[in-house]
Structure 1
Amino acid sequence: MSEGLGEWDDELEVTALPTEPADEEDSDAPELFYPNVAEFVSGKLATSYRRQINVQGGVTWCPQWWKHAEAISRLEALWRAWEFLRLDGTTGMSVWWRDHADHHMSVLLSTDGPFKGCTPDDGHRSKLAPLPCEEPPAGLF
């Protein structure tokens, strides 16, 4: 997934978390409902989290969300949390909405978020610069 990111606005190496158990000890782990973050976004999140987008200061979304490193990271976190919390038949989904979905989606959909400049009609257009960073003094860390 990290190949070809150079043309994207974030230019960061992005690695997906493994979807298969790491070893035999993890073979008792529950099977994933969605096989990957893309299936989760299209199959669950996009159909559940409906908003009117890009309307006079409203929320912003990029149909090519996978070209934004921050979006990939946040959506991957949402997917992983959902996969875990869906198994809690009591308050799991409430916790997921309150602590995960509402938080990350507010950031992702904000007009100044990672999708700034993108539109649902024209797609990915954002060329946001990374945060400026200076090298810390030698020996500080």
Structure 2
Amino acid sequence: MTRTPKADTSLDQQPPLYPTLDSWVTGYFTPMFLHRVGDGTRQRWCTEWWIHPEAIGRLTLLWTTWETARCDPSLKAAWWNDLDHHLPLLLAPDGAFRACRPQTTEQAGIHAPAELPLAEPAPLGYQET
């Protein structure tokens, strides 16, 4: 029996629907998932998300895997699992946007990347013991 190879539906064959992270965040992610953020007490979002390295990392992962799953429907469930993992971490009160506050009628918004913890360089040979 001869099998016909499955058609290649990878991103190599199809251009991305959203060519940049910014276009995906503003065109898909924000309208689809941020309608529940509210006042920022239980979940936090920063309108200047691009100044937060952790947010860029998590959103880039979600965008690229979303584009891949869009072309290969067998990967859609895995993408939703990724989203279910990363979204609570991203929006958590102690997550990437912990130092940010939305603008209110009483006060201006705060858009500040969280301060990075200090880390001393490891001494030479530390893995050799």
* Bucket of the pairwise TM-score, normalised by the shorter protein: 0.7 to 0.9
Find the counterpart in structure 2 of residue 48 from structure 1. Answer: 32
CA distance in 1, matches of 2:124, 2:40: 47
Q: How far is the alpha carbon of 1:88 from its aligned partner?
A: 1.9
Identity of aligned residues (%): 33
Structure 2, unmatched stretches of 5+, are 1-10
Summarize deviations over 1:62-114 as a string: whole Å, max 9, x none: 0010111111111111111101111122x43222111x212111111000011
Change beyond 3 A, Cα 1:101–1:30: same
CA distance in 2, matches of 1:58, 1:96: 24
Find the counterpart in structure 2 of residue 92 from structure 1. Answer: 75
Find the counterpart in structure 2 of residue 134 from structure 1. Answer: 120
Q: How far is the alpha carbon of 1:123 from its aligned partner?
A: 4.0
What is the correspondence of 1:1-141 to structure 2 with a 5 Å cutoff?
28-53=12-37, 55=39, 57-89=41-73, 91-98=74-81, 100-121=82-103, 122-140=108-126
The number of residue pairs the alignment matches comes to 113
Q: How far is the alpha carbon of 1:137 from its aligned partner?
A: 1.4
TM-score w.r.t. structure 1 length?
0.70
| Aligned-pair Cα RMSD in Å | 2.1
Structure 1 or 2, whichever has the larger Rg, is 2
Q: How far is the alpha carbon of 1:133 from its aligned partner?
A: 0.8
Change beyond 3 A, Cα 1:92–1:133: same
Runs of 4+ with >6 A deviation:
none
User: Between Structure 1 and Structure 2, which shows a larger proportion of helix residues?
Assistant: 2
TM-score w.r.t. structure 2 length?
0.75
Find the counterpart in structure 2 of residue 23 from structure 1. Answer: none
Change beyond 3 A, Cα 1:52–1:73: same
